[in-house]
Amino acid sequence: MIQCQECQHLNRNGTLFCEECGRSLVGLPLNATIPTRAIQSDVDEASAKSTWGTAHVGQGTSLMLRFLSNDEPMIIPPTKRVVFGRVDVGSTVNPDIDLTPYGAIEKGVSRQHAAVEFSEDTLILLDVGSSNGTFLNGQRLVPNQPRVLRDGDEVRFGKLVAHIYFK
Partner 1 sequence: MSISFDPYSILGVSRNATDEDIKKAYRKLAQRLHPDKNQGNEAASLQFKDVSLAYGTLSDMTAKRRYDEQARQHEESGDTYFTLRMTPSKRAVMPLPEDQVVYILTEIFPAPSANPQEKVEANLNLSLVLDISNSMKGTRIERVKIAAQLIIDSLSPNDTLSVVVFNDRASIIIPSTKVIDKPSLKARVSMINPSGGTEMFNGISEGFAQVKVAANPRIVNSIVLLTDGHTYGDQDKCLELAKQATNTGVVISCMGLGHDWNDEFLDKLSSTTGGSTTFISSADGVVRFLNDHVRSLTNAFADRMQLTVAPDPDIKLEMAFRLSPSPQPLMIDDYIIPLSSLQVNRPIAILLQFVLPANLTINFRTLARMVVSGEILQNQVTSFKAVSDVSIEVTETLVSDEPPNSIMDALSKLTLYRLQERAKESLERGDVTEATQRLNNLATRLLEMGQENLAQHTLAEVQRVLQTRAFSDAGRKTIKYETRALLSPGGLDVAITNFISSDG
Binding test (CB under 8 A) with partner 1, winner from 8, 21, 75, 81 = 21
CB atoms within 10 A of CB 14: 7
Spatial neighbors of 117 by CB under 8 A, at least 6 apart, are: 80, 81, 123, 124, 126, 146
- Angle at alpha carbon of residue 8, lines to 7 and 9, rounded to 5°: 90
Q: Judged by CB under 8 A, does residue 58 bind partner 1?
A: no
Q: Judged by CB under 8 A, does residue 106 bind partner 1?
A: no
Beta carbons of 164 and 153 less than 8 angstroms apart: yes
Q: Judged by CB under 8 A, does residue 39 bind partner 1?
A: no
Q: Judged by CB under 8 A, does residue 140 bind partner 1?
A: yes
Binding test (CB under 8 A) with partner 1, winner from 31, 40, 50, 92 = 31
CB atoms within 10 A of CB 30: 6
Provide the minimum distance between the beta carbon of 32 and partner 1 in the complex, in angstroms, as a whole number.
Answer: 6
What does the binding site for partner 1 look like in residue numbers (CB under 8 A)?
Answer: 1, 7, 12-24, 26, 28, 30-32, 34-35, 52-53, 55, 117, 119-122, 124, 127-130, 136-140, 142-148, 150, 152, 154
